[in-house]
Structure 1
Amino acid sequence: MVHNQPKPRVSIVICTYNRANLLQMTLDALPALAAREKAEILIVDNNSTDHTREITKSFALRQAGVMSVQYVFEQTQGLSAARNRGIQEAKGDIIAYLDDDAVPCLEWIRTIVDTFDHRPDVCAIGGKIRPRFESERPAWLISALELPYTIVDRGEAVHEYPINKHPFGANMAIRKSFHDTYLFPTDLGRKGTLLLSGEESWLFEQMKQERKKILYQPSMVVDHFIPDNRLTKDWIKRRYYYQGVTNGSMPKGFISKSVLLCNVACRLLYIAVDALFAHTEGKKLLIACRMQSIKGTLITMRSRVKMRLTG
């Protein structure tokens, strides 16, 4: 039995909201991980009303003296608020983020520690996210629609992310020293069942502006559960709409808004041309999803103008 555990190298932050049964699956996978003695586990309960607390307490009891497991309750609703609380509680110099419905590969912890140790110039890493469908993959789910489902495979070579790409929260790790300056913006990101996003893009944009290196590590793999209730055309169109809402809420000044409107005009032209060649079910859905994204952007921008005029 290990009673006086050394300071962890990695703090695994798992934020969860009313998904106790899926969380159980994730937690059950953790004791089998290699190098688990280098990690602590922080389960941040973001105001759940199900049996999340009981699941976590039971797991922590079973792992007592073997793994460091901490239950943290964060009442402020929102994924960003939950992650920020995890950062606040973390003791490791690396924060590894794992979704409450994701199962990491056996070498996940060791890969994270080794990568940061061998690459002191790297600030953050991300890896593969493989889908684990509840039943089966729908025929309309083409590769161009994979990103909203957080399906990520950038190949087998270690490389820096290109300027317009970054890791995803289901499988990413960041040096805690970066979070000393930058936390996740609480006006962005998922809140309860609201499908807002953008908090990770904002954070990695700050990282890129500071010329920090962000590395793709293909050996860092998780299997990510995708339930049947998300595998509908209505869900993915709603997901794109809220991506548009996120985009529309970001611009602050006149120039930023003008650039966004120009981008929207260009995208509309591109979609119109693309629609002429969209003959399959998947490609037609992609066109509809992109239109939903533009709709969300324009409605949000117009609403913000009205608020400013009347507020």
Structure 2
Amino acid sequence: MSDPGISVVICAYTEERWEDVRAAVSSVRAQSYPALETLLVVDHNPALGARLEQAYRADEGVRVLPNSGPRGLSSGRNTGIAASHGEVIAFLDDDAVAERDWLRRFAEAYADPRVLAVGGRTEPAWASGRRPAWFPEEFDWVVGCTYRGLPPGRVRVRNVLGGNASFRRTAFEAAGGFATGIGRDGGPRPLGCEETELCVRLARARPDGVLLIDDRAVIHHRVPHARENFAYFRTRAYAEGLSKALVARSVGADKGLESERRYTTRVLPAGVARGLRDALLGRPGGAGRAGAIVAGLLTAAGGFAMGSLRARRGAYAFAVERRPGREPA
């Protein structure tokens, strides 16, 4: 099979991340496996869109376009899918930079025609320079990064993680696009799980398909000071519980919570045990990590319970763009 053309979609929404967006684009341009194109989708921020258009006016490899749907990350990604021309569409967070072989690792995996999605490993780049001693690796998903408990190497998974992911175009033709009403929507609550919901739908539509994570496809995701504190940790954990309730409502609890059962019954107890052992050995942060794991689990469970209650009452509405079509050339 010939090497696939890969379009990269970066969704941006605020001028506060101007330097981050520029760094993200530069990391794509420096890939050892060149991207077919880079699409910057701007989420209902005309000033940012105009500034980016000016910055990349002379760069034929970068296109800037507005989110054509409702505010939010899912709609922005769907806009990028529709405007892209690649056989594969990769997604990079606007505050992350990709290592040089990021796209090459994705392309290698797509040599198998059964592969419909490939994700990578996301490392935290802490604003303070190092991980807070109390912050458990089991909860690195709180800051959008790969967490302890995911299997190493190139392995099959239920879902990829959205900030460092790619999909074959035929995956969207089979399952539709990202669901709006799930995930980040510009509001104050840091919701998520839109990629999980999509991947479960994709597995149902294409049971013969393969979804992978290759931990050699690495990006580095900036974690600002505001997300290094326990208050954000709890807020994000609660929002994740709300999001998981929406996923379970959309695709059913069996598949929607399949990976979470192993995570809560095996990964987290092992993390608590490690933290307590470190505390007994006098290692810094051990007790804090054990306590954070327990607090994070209970907070997420509370969010899930509240989300399930609201879902039963019809408080949430979400929609799937069935086939984000390709724009005319």
TM tier, shorter chain? 0.7 to 0.9
Query: Within 5 Å, which residues of 2 pair with 1:107-122?
Result: 107-116=101-110, 118-122=111-115
Relative to structure 1, the CA distance from residue 11 to residue 284 in structure 2 (aligned partners, 3 Å threshold; closer, same or farther) is same
Match of 2:136 in 1: 142
Residues 68-101 of structure 1: CA distance to partner in whole angstroms, max 9, x if unpaired? 2111111621111111111111111100010001
Residues 237-291 of structure 1: CA distance to partner in whole angstroms, max 9, x if unpaired? 01111111123334549x969x99xx99xx79xx99x989967111112212222
Moved more, 240-249 or 184-193: 240-249
Deviation, structure 1 residue 219 = 2.5
CA RMSD of aligned residues (A): 3.2
- Note if contact 1:39-1:109 (Cα within 8 Å) is conserved in structure 2: no
Deviation, structure 1 residue 187 = 1.6
Unaligned runs of 5+ in 1: 1-7
Match of 1:291 in 2: 298
Structure 1 length normalisation: TM-score? 0.80
Q: Does 1:52 align with 2:48?
A: yes
Which one-letter code corresponds to 1:203 in the other structure?
Answer: L
Match of 1:196 in 2: 191
Relative to structure 1, the CA distance from residue 275 to residue 82 in structure 2 (aligned partners, 3 Å threshold; closer, same or farther) is same
- Note if contact 2:179-2:194 (Cα within 8 Å) is conserved in structure 1: yes
Task: Give the distance between the partners of 2:304 and 2:156, measured in 1 at CA.
Answer: 30
Q: Per the alignment, in what secondary structure is the counterpart of residue 239 of structure 1?
A: helix
Relative to structure 1, the CA distance from residue 247 to residue 114 in structure 2 (aligned partners, 3 Å threshold; closer, same or farther) is closer
Unaligned runs of 5+ in 2: 280-286, 316-329
Deviation, structure 1 residue 31 = 2.5
Q: How many residues align?
A: 285
Match of 1:88 in 2: 82
Which one-letter code corresponds to 1:245 in the other structure?
Answer: L
Q: Per the alignment, in what secondary structure is the counterpart of residue 91 of structure 1?
A: coil
Q: Which of 170, 173, 178 is the aligned partner of 2:171? A: 178
Q: Per the alignment, in what secondary structure is the counterpart of residue 202 of structure 2?
A: helix
Structure 2 length normalisation: TM-score? 0.76
Relative to structure 1, the CA distance from residue 252 to residue 96 in structure 2 (aligned partners, 3 Å threshold; closer, same or farther) is closer
Structure showing greater Rg: 1
Q: Per the alignment, in what secondary structure is the counterpart of residue 44 of structure 1?
A: strand
- Note if contact 1:13-1:86 (Cα within 8 Å) is conserved in structure 2: yes
Deviation, structure 1 residue 158 = 2.1
Task: Give the distance between the partners of 1:275 and 1:222, measured in 2 at CA.
Answer: 28
Task: Give the distance between the partners of 1:69 and 1:307, measured in 2 at CA.
Answer: 41
Which one-letter code corresponds to 1:147 in the other structure?
Answer: W
Task: Give the distance between the partners of 1:144 and 1:132, measured in 2 at CA.
Answer: 16
Match of 2:220 in 1: 223
Match of 2:24 in 1: 26
Q: Which of 30, 38, 41 is the aligned partner of 1:41? A: 38
Which one-letter code corresponds to 2:133 in the other structure?
Answer: A
Relative to structure 1, the CA distance from residue 291 to residue 26 in structure 2 (aligned partners, 3 Å threshold; closer, same or farther) is same
Identical pairs, percent = 23
